[in-house]
Structure 1
Amino acid sequence: MGWPGFSRRELHTPELMDDPDCDLGTLYRTYEQFDRVNALVAGWPLVYRSHLRPFLRRDRANTLLDIGCGGGDVARHLIRWAARDGFTLRVLGIDADERAIAYAGAQTPMSGLHFRAVMSRELVREGQRFDLIISNHMLHHLSATELTGLLHDCEALGGRTVHSDIERSALAWAGFGAIMTPFFHDSFIVPDGMLSVRRSYRASELRRAVPPGWRVERPFPFRLLLTHAGADHA
C-alpha cells in the first residue's frame, strides 16, 4: 500500500463494512473483534473515569445513549464498570445499520442493555432524554451536514455528551497497520481502520467544524474527545 496524504480528510472512499452488500460473515467477525481493538486504542476506561463516572448518581438508575453502537462492546463495558463502582446504568445502543443491531441483539442478554435500529433524530422526535450520551469511532463517518445534525440531536437529548474518535496523522495510520495486521484476519478491521484514520479530523479541524458549547480535547496521542456539558449539567 502506498503512503497516502494526510493534509486533508479522505471523504470519498467508503469503508468496506459500510457496503450494504459486504459479506455478512466478515462483517460479524469485524463486530466481534471490535472489543479487542477498542481495548487497544480507544481508552474507554480512562474516558469512563474522567468524563462519565463523576456524573453518575447513586440514588437512581442512570441512562446512557450509545450512538452508532456497532456490536455493543463499549456499552457492555460501561454497564460493568458502573456496577463495579456501585452505580446502576441503563444503556440504549442505537445504530443506523440494522446488521449491527442484529449482531448486538444476538449476544448474551445483559440487564439494562437494549438496542434499536434508529437514528438519533427519531429519539428527539420521541421526546427522549438521557443523562449521558456517547459515541465511539463515529464522527469520521459523517459529512459536515450530518455532524451538525448529530450535535444538535445530542443537545436536544439533554445529556452530557462524549464523542470519542481517532485523530488523523501519518504516525497513527502507520502504527495501526503495523500493530493490527498480524493479529486481525478475516475481517474489515485493518483496511477499514487504516481508512478511518485518513477520514478522521485533526483537533484544529474539529474545533472549526462544531458549534459553540462543544469542546475538543486530546486525552492522549492520536485520540480526540468532543464533549458537551448537556442541558442538565450546563
Structure 2
Amino acid sequence: MTLSSRDEHLAELMDDPECDPVRLRRTLQRFGAVNRLVSGWDGVYRSTLRPALASVEGRVRLLDIGCGAGDVLRRLVRLARRDGFAVEGVGIDPDPRALAVAEEASAAGGVTYRKAYAHELVAAGERFDVVVSNHLLHHLGSSELDGLLADSEALAARLCVHSDIERSAVAYAAFAVGITPLAPGSFLRTDGLRSIRRSYTREELAARLPSGWSTPSAPRFRVLAVHRSEGRGAPRTGREGG
C-alpha cells in the first residue's frame, strides 16, 4: 500500500447496498463522535461560515449535501443559533439508511432531511445561502465531482464549503490508532482508512478545482474547497418570518 497517490478505485464497505445493516447503523450513529474529533467544523464555522451568515438579512438557509446521519448539519445549526441567526437547515442524501438514522437523532427544530441529489434541487430552482458537505469529495469520480461543484454554485447564494480529509501517512497512522475505541462492531476503521487512501492532498485538490474555487488553510488533516458567490441574489424561499 502507498499513499503517494489517490486510490480512487478503492470501495468503502458502507457504500455497498448489501452491507451488514447492523454494522452500518452503528457506523452512522458513531459519526457524530468521529466528526467532533476530526472534522474541524467549529473552526471553519467561525472563520468562514459565520461571516457569510452575518451578511444575510432575515432567515438563513443552510444545505448539507450528502448529510449522512446529519450530525454536522445539526452542529452547524446549533452554532449559528447560538450566535443569534435564524437558521433553516436542510440535509440531503440519496441513501435512505443514513436518513433514517438522521431522523432518529434529530431533536432540534428547523432541521429537515430529504432523499435527494443536489442536481434535483437545482432543477427545482431551489437556492440556499450556504452550501456545505463533509467527507463527500473523496467518494466522487471525476465527472461526479464536476457535477457537485457546478450544482453547489447553482444552489448557493453566498458560500460553498466542501470539507474533506487530507491524505497523508501521518493522518493514516493517527486514525488507525485513534479510532480503536469507537470501531468495534462498525465499519469505522476499515472505511476510515480507505477514505484516507481515496482522499486528496491540498495540492491535488487545488489543481482539480475550476476557476472561482480555492483551497484555503484548513484544520490539520483537512482540505477545504471554497467558493464565494456574494452578490448573486437571495434564495428564492425561506425568507418568511426572518
* TM surpasses 0.5: yes
Match of 1:86 in 2: 84
Separation in structure 1 between the aligned mates of residue 178 and residue 165 of structure 2, nearest angstrom:
16
Q: Is the 8 A contact 1:79 1:88 kept in 2?
A: no
Q: Does residue 1:162 correspond to 2:161, yes or no?
A: yes
The letter for the 2-side match of 1:141 is H
> Residues 233 and 178 of structure 1: is their aligned pair in 2 closer, same or farther, counting only changes over 3 Å?
farther
Q: In structure 2, give the amino acid aligned to 1:47.
A: V
Counterpart of 1:189, as a letter, is L
Q: Partner of 1:66: helix, strand, or coil?
A: strand
Distance 1:201 1:70 in 2: 20
Alignment of 1:124-135 (within 5 A): 124-135=122-133
In structure 1, C-alpha distance between the alignment counterparts of 2:230 and 2:220, rounded to whole Å: 30
Name the structure 1 match of 2:58: 60
Structure-1-length-normalised TM-score: 0.94
What is the CA–CA distance in structure 2 between the aligned matches of 1:186 and 1:231, rounded to whole Å? 45
**What is the CA–CA distance in structure 1 between the aligned matches of 2:68 and 2:223, rounded to whole Å?**
19
Whole-angstrom distance in 2 between the partners of 1:73 and 1:194: 20
How many angstroms apart in 2 are the aligned matches of 1:106 and 1:36?
16
Q: What CA deviation, in whole Å up to 9, does each residue of 1:4-45 have, x standing for no partner?
A: 201110111210110000111111111111011001111111
2:126 is aligned with what amino acid?
Q
Query: Distance between the aligned counterparts of 2:131 and 2:215, measured in 1?
Result: 16
Which whole-Å CA distance do the structure 1 matches of 2:51 and 2:106 have between them?
29
1:107 offset after TM fit, Å? 2.6
State the match for 2:32 in structure 1.
Answer: 35
Distance 1:30 1:141 in 2: 17
Alpha-carbon contact 1:120-1:153 (below 8 Å) kept: yes
Poorly superposed stretches of 4+, deviation over 6 Å: none
1:121 corresponds to: 119
DSSP-derived class of the 1:133 partner? strand
What's the CA shift for 1:82?
1.1
Alignment partners' CA distance in 2, 1:59 and 1:213: 25
In 2, the alpha carbon distance for the partners of 1:230 and 1:27 equals 37
What are the residue-to-residue correspondences of 1:1-234 with 2, within 5 Å? 4-57=1-54, 59-159=57-157, 160-230=159-229, 232=231
| Native 8 Å contact 2:216 2:225 kept in 1 | yes
Residue-by-residue CA offset, 1:64-105 (whole Å, 9 max, x unaligned): 000010000011111111111111111110012121112212
Question: How large is the RMSD of aligned CA atoms in angstroms?
Answer: 1.5
Counterparts of 2:81 and 2:217, CA distance in 1: 27
Task: For CA contacts below 8 A with separation 6 or more, give which structure has more relative contact order.
Answer: 2
Structure 1 residue matching 2:223: 3-state secondary structure? strand
Query: Residues 30 and 182 of structure 2 are in contact (CA less than 8 Å); yes or no, is this contact kept in structure 1?
Result: no
Amino acid at match of 2:217: R
